[in-house]
């Protein structure tokens, strides 16, 4: 088996399995899971993400609604839209695309989404449920990472896991998930001393710092599983290129398993968003997630 973890094909398999679940929910429960995505402003990268989300939502047979608001939209107008979607029985998941313009309080908006319609896992109730091992919704990127790790390694129990990066979106929830899998978890960050040595001790190394190719191959323990969450646009030899937080060429020579950029974690994130929406639809309607 190649040591490269193919996130693109893993995500395609996950979408196929979700499409089958959606079909059962429609037939047996007259339930069509619906996802609403709100985009404020015209950030080009966000527009691409939102378009892909809508396309894939429809492809698995779910309902997709997009709300594109002007960059000058006020916080109270955005909160009113969120509240109307909270009340809308055809919508089971609400995603507000980040970042939001500076004049809007991000935390206030994220916490205005009903926690049972939160599909990002950013609502404080879901953050709390994740850190206490409860049945909340798990942030999409870390969920995709843990799915790929379990698929490749089986049990993660007792492994030394190092997460580089302490963001609320990836680093902290990733550490919580690894802890739930009974790993010994270290969260490293920009102030960590001897970062190279900390990384070299990892059986599982998750890089989520947003610094292009910061982790070289000689920081990777031979045979370790390396998950690269970074998506960094750089210019090299006069061309624009996407690279991760790990130097892929040198790390792939020593890693037992490694995700490439692009084609690793990225495609899994949207597939997990669809998974979370189906899960929330099932919870709201008190039906079991189809097998």
> Could you list the residues that contact ligand GUN (CB under 6 A)?
95-98, 120, 140
* Residue 34 beta carbon to ligand GUN: minimum distance, rounded to whole angstroms: 17
Question: Is 264 in a helix, a strand, or coil?
Answer: coil
With CB atoms as reference, the residue minimizing the distance to ligand GUN is 98
| Contact (CB, 8 A) for 256 and 276 | no
57/49 Cα distance (integer angstroms): 12
Residues with a known catalytic role? 53, 97, 120
CB closer to ligand GUN, 97 vs 126: 97
Dig out the tokens for 167 from the structure. Answer: 């963001």
Neighbours of 103 (CB within 10 A): 10
* Residue 123 beta carbon to ligand GUN: minimum distance, rounded to whole angstroms: 11
* Residue 7 beta carbon to ligand GUN: minimum distance, rounded to whole angstroms: 15
CB closer to ligand GUN, 48 vs 196: 48
* DSSP secondary structure string for all residues of 210-278: --TT-B-GGGSPTT-EEEE---EEEEETTEEEEE-SB-HHHHHTT-SEE--SSSSHHHHHHHHHHHHHH
* Residue 140 beta carbon to ligand GUN: minimum distance, rounded to whole angstroms: 5
CB closer to ligand GUN, 120 vs 181: 120
Dig out the tokens for 239 from the structure. Answer: 């061309």
Please, what is the Cα angle at 169 between 291 and 37, to 5 degrees?
A: 65
The answer for residues whose C-beta is within 8 angstroms of residue 59's C-beta and 6 or more apart is 15, 19
* Residue 70 beta carbon to ligand GUN: minimum distance, rounded to whole angstroms: 18
199/195 Cα distance (integer angstroms): 6
70/77 Cα distance (integer angstroms): 11
């Amino acid at each position: 088996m190649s040591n490269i973890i193919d996130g693109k094909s893993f995500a395609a398999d996950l979408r196929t399995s979700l499409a089958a679940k959606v079909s059962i929910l429609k037939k047996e429960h007259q339930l069509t899971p619906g996802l609403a995505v709100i985009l404020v402003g015209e950030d080009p990268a966000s527009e691409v993400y939102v378009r892909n989300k809508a396309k894939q939502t429809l492809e698995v047979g779910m309902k997709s609604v997009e709300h594109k608001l002007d960059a000058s939209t006020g916080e109270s107008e955005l909160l009113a839209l969120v509240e109307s979607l909270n009340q809308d029985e055809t919508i089971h998941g609400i995603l507000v695309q980040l970042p939001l313009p500076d004049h809007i309080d991000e935390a206030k908006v994220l916490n205005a989404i009903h926690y049972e319609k939160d599909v990002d896992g950013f609502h404080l109730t879901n953050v709390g449920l994740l850190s206490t091992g409860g049945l909340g919704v798990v942030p999409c990127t870390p969920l995709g990472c843990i799915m790929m790790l379990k698929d490749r390694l089986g049990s993660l129990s007792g492994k030394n896991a190092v997460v580089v990066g302490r963001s609320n979106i990836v680093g902290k929830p990733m550490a919580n998930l690894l802890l739930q899998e009974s790993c010994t978890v270290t969260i490293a960050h920009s102030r960590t001393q001897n970062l190279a040595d900390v990384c070299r001790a990892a059986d599982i190394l998750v890089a989520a710092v947003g610094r292009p190719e910061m982790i070289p191959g000689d920081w990777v323990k031979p045979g370790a599983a390396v998950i690269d969450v970074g998506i960094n646009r750089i210019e090299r030899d006069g061309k624009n290129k996407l690279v991760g937080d790990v130097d892929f060429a040198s790390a792939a020579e020593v890693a037992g398993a490694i995700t490439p950029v692009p084609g690793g974690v990225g495609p899994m994130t949207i597939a997990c968003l669809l998974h979370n929406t189906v899960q929330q639809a099932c919870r709201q309607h008190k039906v079991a997630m189809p097998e």
